Structure 1
Amino acid sequence: MNIADVVSAACLLAGCTLSLIAAIGLVRFPDLFSRMHAGTKPQVLGLLLVLVGVGLRLRDWTDIGMLLAVAMFQLLTAPVAAHMIGRAAYQGGAVRQDTLLVDELTSALEADDPGQSGRT
């Protein structure tokens, strides 16, 4: 067993732990924004750690290229999807206003469409 195997095992274990924490957060957190945070940040980092661990074990350039493609797609799609879900939920009225410390979206929506209040 060499050092790359130990680092690979550590990355896999850390990535699986972060993904488990993200799953628990999705179930346990009370509101939409907390769940979005749990579904994106630790889950993406967990997946990247798993991909690094797998890449260290495989050591084939074809496989590493595929793992890099998966990592890039995850980094590009997870933040955009979370942003779109949060914005749609806000506009749909699914967000509790008392949980927001700062609400910059209402003024931005009113500036885009002065005839509407921004919320339905």
Structure 2
Amino acid sequence: MNILPWLASLLVLGGALISLLGAVGVLRLPDSYSRMHAASKAGVLGTVLILTGTAAASRGQMAGEALLGLLVLLASAPLASHAIFRAAHRAGIRPRVGPLGDALERERRKND
């Protein structure tokens, strides 16, 4: 019995479920910062699992392409989400803050 197709199926299914949880987080969370956090983290993890499952399903024939896609994703996703966060904050969209407050606002006031 070959276990590779089963492993590939589980990886793709797991990635799809994590992406679905990220989409539910985007719908349910209270502010844009929390929504972006859910979308970026769950989206990256879901995509990593799906690309790994794709490489496993192709029996290694697509492993190079999947690895390249993973590297591009892991390099660009954190940078893009950080840039969007900063742009939203500079545009005046304020997060709902808890007891720790807004560190970006304190930093802006200190630099002014």
Asked whether the two chains share a fold, i.e. TM above 0.5, the reply is yes
Following superposition, which runs of at least 4 residues in structure 1 exceed 6 angstroms of deviation?
none
Q: Deviations over 1:52-78 (max 9, x none)?
A: 1110011244x2111111111111111
Give me the whole-angstrom Cα distance separating, in 1, the residues matched to 2:79 and 2:60. Answer: 31
Q: More displaced, 102-111 or 82-91?
A: 102-111
Task: Provide the identity percentage.
Answer: 36
- Which residues of 2 match residues 1-120 of structure 1 at below 5 A? 1-61=1-61, 63-96=62-95, 98-100=96-98, 101-112=100-111, 114=112
Q: 5+ unaligned residues in a row in structure 2: which ranges?
A: none
Q: 5+ unaligned residues in a row in structure 1: which ranges?
A: 115-120
Max Rg structure: 1
SS of structure 1 residue aligned to 2:102 = coil
TM-fit CA distance, 1:30 = 1.7
Please give the TM-score of this superposition, normalised by the length of structure 1: 0.82
SS of structure 2 residue aligned to 1:99 = coil
Aligned CA RMSD, in angstroms, stands at 1.7
Please give the TM-score of this superposition, normalised by the length of structure 2: 0.87
Q: Give 1:10's aligned amino acid.
A: L
Paired positions, count? 111
